[in-house]
Structure 1
C-alpha cells in the first residue's frame, strides 16, 4: 500500500508536470480518486465537475490526460440503442486494480470485500486482463 501511495504521489507531482499539462496535482489526484469511486459506472462529467468545483472542460482534459497516460480506460458503449434508450456515455475504469484500491484507501482484502466497490473492482480487473 505504501508503494502504491508513493507511486501515485510521485506520478502526479513529478512525472505528469514534466509532460506539460497545467492541471494541479491535487486536482488530478481528486479526479483520479473520484474515478476510482465511480469505477465501472457511466461517466457523468457534469456530476464530477460539480463535485470537484471545476468546469466541464477541466474534467474533460483530466480524463483525456489520464486516458492518454494509460492509467484510466474509457470504454465506449458497444450499442448505440439499448432498449430504446440512447447510451452515449462511456464507462470509465482505473486500469490497475491495486492503484484503484490505493486511491480508495483500501489496504487489505478484508477492507476491499467490505467495500461497495468490490464488484466494480473485479469488473475492471477482468476488462484489463
Structure 2
C-alpha cells in the first residue's frame, strides 16, 4: 500500500487534506494517485482569491500518461497555490504530502472536514478500485 498518513483526511477522488491549525487547509493528491499518474510534468494551480464549491475541479495535474482534474474537497476560498510546482511539478511524485501540496483553502465550513474519509476508509476505497 502507498504511503498514507493517518493524520490527514481524504476524498474518493484521491485528494488529501491537512488542517493547518490556522483556519486553512492544505490540499494535494495522494501517493496512490501520483503513482497511478506516473511522472508529473505540469501542474496548473488555482488562482488566489478564487471561490470554489465542494467537488469543483480547480487545478490540473498532467503526467506523461494523462491529465487529471484536482477537485476541492470543501467549499471555500483559495488563498494560495503552490507556485513552486510551476518549475518542479515532479515534487508531487517525490513528496506528495510535503513539497508537492497543490493549494491552500479557507473553508466556508470547517465542520465539513469531518465528512471526509479517514486513512482507513480511504485505504478501503483504493483496495476496491484495484
The two structures have a TM-score, normalised by structure 2, of 0.29
Structure with greater helix percent: 1
The two structures have a TM-score, normalised by structure 1, of 0.29
Structure with greater strand percent: 2
Choose 1 or 2 for highest CA Rg: 1
